[in-house]
């Protein structure tokens, strides 16, 4: 049970990281304001 919980946390973290990377890329392109990226 704890293994599954840990896996879920890691997956959520990975997803959040990917979204953050996408937001940073868009900020670099200047297509997003900081507020929109958050």
11-37 pLDDT tens trace: 999 999 999 999 888 888 776 566 665
| Model confidence band, residue 5 (pLDDT cutoffs 50, 70, 90) | confident
The pLDDT, as a whole number, for residue 21 is 94
pTM: 0.54
C-alpha closest to that of 37 among 22, 29, 18: 22
What's the pLDDT score for residue 17?
95
For residues 30 and 36, the answer to whether their CB atoms sit within 8 Å is: no
- Domain range for residue 24? 2-37
Judge whether 32 and 23 are in contact, CB under 8 Å.
yes
Q: Return d(Cα 33, Cα 27) in angstroms, integer.
A: 7
Question: What's the total number of domains in the chain?
Answer: 1
- pLDDT number for residue 37: 58
DSSP string, 1-38: -HHHHHHHHHHHHHHHHHHHHHHHHHHHHT-S-HHHH-
């Amino acid at each position: 049970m704890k293994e599954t919980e840990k896996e879920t946390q890691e997956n959520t973290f990975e997803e959040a990281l990917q979204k953050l990377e996408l937001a940073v890329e868009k900020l670099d392109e200047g297509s997003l304001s900081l507020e929109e990226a958050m």
